[in-house]
Amino acid sequence: MENLTEIELLQQNLLAATGMSKEVFDLSLPYWQLKTYKKGEFYNEYRNVCKHLGFIIDGVFRIYRANDETGEEKNILFFSKHQFMTSFKSFLTQTPCNFFTQSMADANILYIHIDDLNRLYRQSHGWEHFGRVMAESSFNLVLTNTEGFLFKTPEERYLEMIELHPDIFNSVPLYHIASYLGIQGPSLSRIRKRMAIKVDV
């Protein structure tokens, strides 16, 4: 996998996720663009309409909301390598976004404009299937995240986060992870210590 080009990596992931054939995937080749983000750069900003779907080659991004009065930030989701990324509601409805999407480290992504994606939907049932899978996956991700806050302990959410983003501690400061889990820094430290003890045992 290390020797794959960015496009080959994208194709491999689409094949795994949707069974998309090379012939169908090749229809999209004129539309994907590669972009590099520096740490702290925004993929999408608050109140902007998100017009691109990104596939992360490497790096980590966060979706967060800032309190208009206090400026306090609350992390909602993380996206990491080999995952598709967008501000889902804004992208699917083409309405202004209620969140920021920001790079947490230097990152590379392939992205496609929504107009080109819609063109592919009209051209191919395979790409229509991709669109349905993406919409279902985004719904499931947001619902799982919401249910996690309501019904799961911070430790359970921590374990799910590690499963989705195994390298997250290499790029994301602990206070951002604590914000995502809805806890304070000392509580996160205690969870990490308990997990380390379990692994050692």
Express each pLDDT in 45-65 by its tens digit.
Answer: 888 999 999 999 999 999 999
The tokens for 197 are 């003890």
Residues 70 and 18 placed together within one structural domain of the fold: yes
Q: What is the pLDDT of residue 201?
A: 37
Q: What is the CATH classification number for the domain harbouring 53?
A: 2.60.120.10
* pLDDT tens-digit readout, 159-191: 989 998 988 988 899 999 999 998 888 899 999
* pLDDT tens-digit readout, 64-111: 998 888 888 999 999 999 999 988 889 989 999 989 999 999 999 999
The predicted model gives 31-37 an average pLDDT of: 97
Residues 91 and 185 placed together within one structural domain of the fold: no
Residue range(s) defining the domain that contains residue 16: 1-127
Neighbours of 97 (CB within 10 A): 21
Question: Is the pLDDT at 25 greater than 90, yes or no?
Answer: yes
Question: Is the pLDDT at 196 greater than 80, yes or no?
Answer: no
Residues 180 and 84 placed together within one structural domain of the fold: no
Partner residues linked to 37 by β-bridges? 107
Alpha helix ranges (H) inside the chain: 6-18, 22-26, 88-93, 114-123, 125-151, 154-164, 174-181, 185-200
Its pTM stands at 0.88
- Cα distances from 32 to residues 2, 116, 129, in angstroms, run 20, 9, 18
* pLDDT tens-digit readout, 131-163: 999 889 888 888 888 887 778 888 888 998 999
The predicted model gives 31-53 an average pLDDT of: 94
The reply to whether 132 falls in a domain is no
The predicted model gives 35-45 an average pLDDT of: 95
Residues 113 and 165 placed together within one structural domain of the fold: no
Residues 24 and 117 placed together within one structural domain of the fold: yes
The predicted model gives 26-32 an average pLDDT of: 97
The reply to whether 135 falls in a domain is no
The reply to whether 136 falls in a domain is no
Residues 14 and 50 placed together within one structural domain of the fold: yes
Q: What is the pLDDT of residue 1?
A: 42
Residues 109 and 23 placed together within one structural domain of the fold: yes
The reply to whether 137 falls in a domain is no
Residues 20 and 85 placed together within one structural domain of the fold: yes
Q: What is the pLDDT of residue 135?
A: 87
